[in-house]
Amino acid sequence: MPLVPMRVLLDHAAENDYGVVALNVNNMEQIQAIMMAAQETNSPVIIQASRGARAYSEDAYLRHLILAAVELNPNIPVTMHLDHGNSFATCESAIQQGFTSVMMDGSLSEDGKVPSTYEYNAAITKKVVEAAHAVGVSVEGEIGALGGIEDGHGAGLSEEEAKEHLTDPDEAEQFVTETGLDALAVAIGTSHGAYKFKKKPTGDVLRMDLIEEIHNRLPNTHIVMHGSSSVPQELQDIINQYGGKLNPTYGVPLDEIKRGIKYGVRKVNVDTDNRLAITGAIRKVFAETPEKFDPRAYLKPARLAMKDVCVTRMVTFGQAGNADKIKCKTTREMVDFYKK
């Protein structure tokens, strides 16, 4: 089965009321962990690479590793997605490199830091949609800028700025109509990384109500939640137990994501939880058996720890059991789909 455009997976998720976790990768072990979890649970998968991942791993390595995953797992539909593309050129090069889905994150300027204007975002996203759909590739856009109301300072926004940049449902409606995108990322108070919330988040900092409102207005639009790691206490504890130094922190509870899925969330971005799982497993081996130096001694447990995180999310979000039910389409077939 060739790589699948993301739209195919999200349409199936919407028709069957589930969400799909989108998992960031930089290396072979992470891709293997995802595929092990997908096999164990019969799940479709979205594998995504950020600009940083593309620079670290190089497109050719990423593409061939993901194609190896497809070859070894012919029963699993796999989408290869660009996470947070910052410009038309970044999206264009991803498409040339075989990505079957791209995110044009025009919520920020090309530097990937400063929030942009609505006009810039709508124009650049529309341009990417036109180019991508012409070759059957799916597009995710973002309206509102991610930043996190609490502890979202890593994204460069103050608490007040983050509140100002939450997604405005009116703008969301206009943005979807103007751009014709396939999936809409929204800003509801989450941020990237481990430090999202100072305590278990309540509705004033994790604005799930915005998702409900956006879904009521745009019932046919696939909503994407970024910054959706749950930052489980047990993963924090393993890191700290074996010499790490994480400050107390809270992520997005799995139950809140399940609630989002009831209201149109179809793609759930998770990276940090896997980073925590990998780091904890490696630290444990280093601490308990300092005489070991074969990388496989710590990469194997790291891969298994990531697999466990992926399995839990695949089961919780409802994508488990669906891989063999999806009627896959190729990018070529999607060209005709978009012409209609």
Name the site residues for Zn ion (rule: CB under 5 A): 226, 269
From ligand 13P, ligand G3H, Zn ion, none, interface partner of 52 (C-beta below 5 to 8 A by class): ligand G3H
Of 49-57, 65-73, 148-156, 212-220, the window that binds ligand G3H (rule: CB under 6 A) is 49-57
CA distance 196 to 150: 6
Residue 288: C-alpha distances to residues 241, 279, 284, 303 (Å)? 11, 14, 6, 18
Binding mask 175-194 for ligand 13P (x = CB under 6 A): -----------------xx-
Tokens of 47: 């594998």
Q: Which residue out of 83, 168, 271, 273 is catalytically annotated?
A: 83
Judged by beta carbon, residue 141 or residue 227, the one nearer ligand 13P is: 227
Cβ proximity to ligand 13P, 218 vs 231, nearer residue: 231
Q: How far is the CB of 85 from ligand G3H (least distance, A)?
A: 11
Q: Which residue has the tokens 């998720």?
A: 13
Is there a contact between 20 and 14 (Cβ–Cβ < 8 Å)? no
CB of 335 to ligand G3H, least distance (A): 29
Alpha carbon distance 19, 214 (integer Å) = 16
Cα 42 from chain centre: 19
Beta strands in the chain (DSSP E): 20-24, 45-49, 78-85, 101-104, 138-143, 183-186, 222-225, 265-270
Strand, coil or helix: what is 338? helix
Q: How far is the CB of 91 from Zn ion (least distance, A)?
A: 15
- Residue 11 or residue 271: which is nearer to ligand 13P going by CB? 271
Find the binding residues for ligand G3H in span 246-305 (CB under 6 A).
Answer: 271
Q: Which listed option, ligand G3H, ligand 13P, Zn ion, none, makes contact with residue 107 (CB within 5 to 8 Å by class)?
A: none
Shortest gap between Cβ of 192 and Zn ion (angstroms)? 6
Q: Which is nearer to ligand 13P, 229 or 316 (CB)?
A: 229
Burial of 257 (0-12, 13-18, 19+ CB in 10 A): buried
Q: Look at residue 126 and give its three-state secondary structure.
A: helix
237 is catalytic: no
- Member of 4, 5, 13, 24 binding ligand G3H (CB under 6 A): 24
Q: In angstroms, what is the C-alpha Rg of the chain? A: 19
Which residues are the active-site residues? Answer: 83
Residue ranges in contact with ligand G3H by CB under 6 A? 24, 50, 52-53, 83-84, 192, 271
